[in-house]
Amino acid sequence: MAKERETTRAACYANAAVYTPHGIIERGLLLTDENGRIAAIGDSAEHGVPADVPVYDASGLLLVPGFIDVHIHGGNGFSVMAAEREHLDGISRFHAKHGTTSFLATTTTAPLEQILHALDAASSIVLDDEWDLGGAQLIGIHLEGPYIDVLRRGAQSIEDIRTPSAQEIEQIVEAARQQIRLVTLAPEVDGGMEAVRQLTGLGITVSAGHSNATYDQVREAVRAGLRHTTHHFNGMSPLHHREPGLAGAGLTLRELTCELICDGIHVHPAVVKLLFEARGPLNVCMITDAVTCAGLPDGDYGDVTMHGGQIFLKDGSSLAGSALTMGQALRNVISFTGLTLEQVLPSLTVVPARQVGVSAAKGSLESGKDADFVLLDQELNIQQTVVRGKTVYRRGSDE
């Protein structure tokens, strides 16, 4: 059982470079309150601090919004599909060490009963008022599959691919207690367009992924409400000059926001640069797609093998998720694109918050929002992760 969250105390972080929606405050101050929200942001030299509030000197550090990962299957030996609080807590703690402050528990294509069990476990924690995960906050569920295309299934189970129906979608939404925020499906499969309309009508963001859709089929799905693509360029119909496919649709249709696994393995650095140049950071959603063995040593793990950061099915037929963290993704995208930290931060913060409907509370450093932030050194290494005002990770500490 995870340790219950300690009582949150007001705190002040001073003298950091604070990255706000309106620019960088070079010697900035961020004040949190006892409810785990941001009470104030300003200049350290000009802003007063209540006498009973501890002040932490963050000189030389960068204070940025916490990273939001809408596509996590696991990490450090823990799995969403295990459908246990211990596993979800382990995932939460592992990813918090790498700057993630909020995440969606992401399912895989599996027998329906197993999916329903995972949805029940994750939604129970989302609705738990005790805030008892030890790291990043679980803010909802990403249902990836089982309504996908066989050809583009990647590492997803072919035996468990299903045809969507209105009745089954109702069953899934009910099992998740309305906590599904994102659904990945193939809109071109039988019943796919109807599923897009049904899920969109329920306020759920629908993403095209593990899909062999043509460009015209994607355009039809966009008209039905599609607004997102899953791990763009991976598990989808590729760009061809006579048939742009889903890959081309993501590059050109302004309604779509594209997920990206920026590990230099799933997508070549030059193509990462292409996507950012074509769509801009406000239309790219950085994810990890991290799986159970992320963070563990190289070796064999069930049906997959990991070597040098690459995770494949043992038969070598497909990549099987990633070992990426959001902290490394941030450093990679800056290296691959030549963009600045300020330019790329929205792809890890503002964009995912917008795509899953949590912008009112998360994604940027503003008074009244949750005190979710990360302190980075000048090399962009994670020094401290704060979730709703509580330090859940500090480099060199067991917290």
Any residues with CB less than 8 A from the CB of 263 and at least 6 apart, and which? 309, 322, 323, 324, 328, 329, 332
Which candidate in 33, 289, 370, 372 is catalytic?
Answer: 289
- Rounded Cα gap, residues 123 and 395, in angstroms: 30
User: Do 223 and 253 form a contact (C-beta atoms < 8 A)?
Assistant: no
Residue 76 counted as an annotated binding residue:
no
Residue 231 counted as an annotated binding residue:
yes
Residue 234 counted as an annotated binding residue:
yes
User: Do 363 and 100 form a contact (C-beta atoms < 8 A)?
Assistant: no
Residue 270 counted as an annotated binding residue:
no
Helices 326-337 & 269-279 angle (0-180, nearest 10): 80
Residue 332 counted as an annotated binding residue:
no
- Rounded Cα gap, residues 301 and 294, in angstroms: 11
For residue 233 the two structure tokens come to 């360029």
Residue 363 counted as an annotated binding residue:
no
Residue 144 counted as an annotated binding residue:
yes
- Rounded Cα gap, residues 122 and 120, in angstroms: 6
289 in catalytic set: yes
What SS3 string covers 75-87? ECCEEHHHCCHHH
Residue 210 counted as an annotated binding residue:
yes
Residue 240 counted as an annotated binding residue:
no
- Rounded Cα gap, residues 25 and 276, in angstroms: 26
Residue 155 counted as an annotated binding residue:
yes
Q: What are the residue numbers of the active site?
A: 289
Q: Binding site: which residues?
A: 144, 155, 210, 231, 234-235, 242, 266, 319-321
Q: Binding site for substrate: which residues?
A: 155, 234-235, 242, 266, 319-321
Q: Binding site for Zn(2+): which residues?
A: 144, 210, 231
